[in-house]
Amino acid sequence: MVAQYAQIARRSAVVAAIAAAVMAALFGALGGGKALIGALIAVVIVALFFGISVFTVSRAARISPQAMMATALVTFIIKFLLLLVFVGAFQNTTAFNPKAFGITALGCVLVYSAAQVLWSLRMKMLYVEPDGER
């Protein structure tokens, strides 16, 4: 289970990194330096959030599938709430473009989540662990 989750997470991270690079380049070209800074800050925060999730969920997967699912749900809720806090805290900043920050963060989260779903559907994972005693 851990190896399959790690493979899904790696593939999803590659897809999200491509999307993040495209969004940062677009905001940099269209919005200037402040938009680029906002987009890059969002990419760093989202990458940190998903890195923490991958670490905690892979550790929980060693215990049981139920612990893995519970950990995934809890980390998702915590990340969502923290991202709302960041967006609220940065909405009136003048150091960078808060709209570029919000759009890039949302885009990265959606792309990573969609990639996880698609890679999970494409992988052939056993529902039952086969035993060798038959």
Work out the percent of the chain whose per-residue pLDDT is above 70.
90
Tally of domains within the chain:
1
In this prediction the pTM is 0.80
Name the DSSP letter for residue 42. Answer: H
Residue 25 covered by a domain: yes
> Within a domain: residue 130?
no
Q: Which domain holds residue 57?
A: 2-122
pLDDT at 134: 52
Domain contains 66: yes
**Cα–Cα separations (whole angstroms), residue 71 to 15, 113, 122:** 23, 16, 23
* Domain contains 132: no
Residue 29 within a domain: yes
Q: Considering the chain, what percentage of its residues have pLDDT values greater than 90?
A: 37
In our burial notation (b when 16+ CB lie closer than 10 A, e otherwise), range 42-71 reads: bbebbbebbeebbebbbebbeeeeeebeeb
| Stretch 105-130: mean pLDDT | 82
What is the C-alpha to C-alpha distance for residues 97 and 100, in angstroms, rounded to an integer?
5
28-78 pLDDT per residue, tens: 999 899 999 999 999 999 899 888 888 898 888 888 888 888 998 999 899
Mean pLDDT of 98-104: 90
Closest CA to 53 of 27, 28, 18, 79: 79
Establish if 128 belongs to a structural domain: no
pLDDT of residue 114: 92
Q: Does some domain include residue 20?
A: yes
